[in-house]
Each structure stands twice: as C-alpha cells, then as structure tokens.
Amino acid sequence: MKPFKVALIVGSLRKESFNKKIGRAIGQFKIAGMQFDDIEIGELPLYNEDLEKDVPVAWQNFREIINPYDAVLFITPEYNRSVPAVLKNALDVGSRPYGKSIWDGKPAAIISCTPGGLGAFGANHHLRQSLVFLNMPTLQQPEAYISHAAKLFDDNGKLIDTSTHDFLTILVEKFEKWIERNVQVKKS
C-alpha cells in the first residue's frame, strides 16, 4: 500500500515560528505509511466571492494542490483566542465555490503550539469547530496542545525535547490509523 499523502498546513507566517519548527520535526519522522508535504498558504489573496468570476491563479493552484491529498495536518498558533487570519483564509478559499470544497471528507488532525502556557487551546478548538462544518473527520485523541515552545528547540530549530518528540510520534501514529479508517469509509 502506498503511503498516505498528508498536507501539512502551518497557520504561522513567521520564518522561525515554533509551529513551523514542529512541522519540520514531524516531516522528518520516519513513518512508513505517511508522506508529509508542506503547503504554503501565505500568498493566498483574501477570500472574496466576487473573485470567483475570475478566480485568482493562487486560489486555483491551492485548490489543485490540496485535492489529491489523503489528509491534512494543521499546526496553528493562537491569535486572540482563535486561529490566525491566514489559516482561516485558506479554509475559506478551499471551501469554495459552494459544493466543491477541497476539504470535504479529508481526515484531519490539529496541533496547536505556543510559547505560553495554555498550548493555544482556543485556536485548537476554534479550528476544530470549522473542520466539523467542512466535513473533515478530525482526530480526537490525543489532543495536541504544545506549551512553552521556546524551550523545545535548539538554536538551529531542531526539536530537542524528548517527551515532546515521543508525544508527537504517538500522535502521528494514531493519525495514520485515523486516516486509514476514514479514507476507507470515504471510498466505500
């Protein structure tokens, strides 16, 4: 069986964001049943239904890029107790035009990450709420709220905290099983 193709979407634009570092660490995990690809969302024009008459090339490309993926792993910081606008915009661009959502039925998982102590709990749950509407079956357990992120990486951005590494490995392994179960349901 071919490995599941997983789109890795990070809701942070900052070059050295902790969320991007988490994504890079996961991308290096050697899990035979999964292939992770970073998907850039920072250049997507803001969603405006008027633009559907002459769809921006960036929207077209994004929709075409996401379509063949089996699943999506979202990694997000928290801004004002919610997801960053860039991530919400990507969800909106991908969900349109009505009836042609690129998200429909794709299994998902969420990791929220912050230098603070609450693990970006608010963003995680706001994103989860949107994914329910988008019909993305979302991994429930383990919940992934990564706190105190500044202490988890070395000066080169490598994940050095072994307990976080071990936790993320468990999460990705469970996500693989989640994808397998939900992709089969979708295809049958």
**Helix/strand/coil (H, E, C) string of 44-56?**
CCCCCHHHHHHCC
- Position 66 scores a pLDDT of 97
Q: Are 86 and 42 in contact (CB under 8 A)?
A: yes
CA dihedral sign, ordered 149, 18, 32, 30: negative
The H or E element containing residue 172 is helix 162-187
pLDDT value at residue 188: 42
pLDDT the model gives residue 1 = 66
**How large is the average pLDDT for residues 75-88?**
93
Residue of 67, 69, 5 whose CA lies nearest to 36: 5
Token pair in block for residue 36: 């992770």
Tokens 């070059």 — which residue?
15
Q: What is the mean pLDDT of the chain?
A: 93
pLDDT for residue 44: 97
Question: Both tokens of residue 91?
Answer: 């969800």
Query: What confidence score (pLDDT) does residue 184 get?
Result: 60
Nearest Cα neighbor of 86 from 97, 96, 75 is 75
pLDDT at 124 over 70: yes
- Work out the pLDDT band at 186, boundaries 50, 70, 90: low
Q: What letter represents residue 14's amino acid?
A: R
Percent over 90 (pLDDT), the chain: 84
DSSP letters for 109-144: EEEEE-SSSSTTHHHHHHHHHHHHHTT--B--SS-E
Residue type at 150 in one-letter notation: A
Asked if pLDDT for residue 97 goes beyond 60, the answer is yes
Residue 90 identity: A
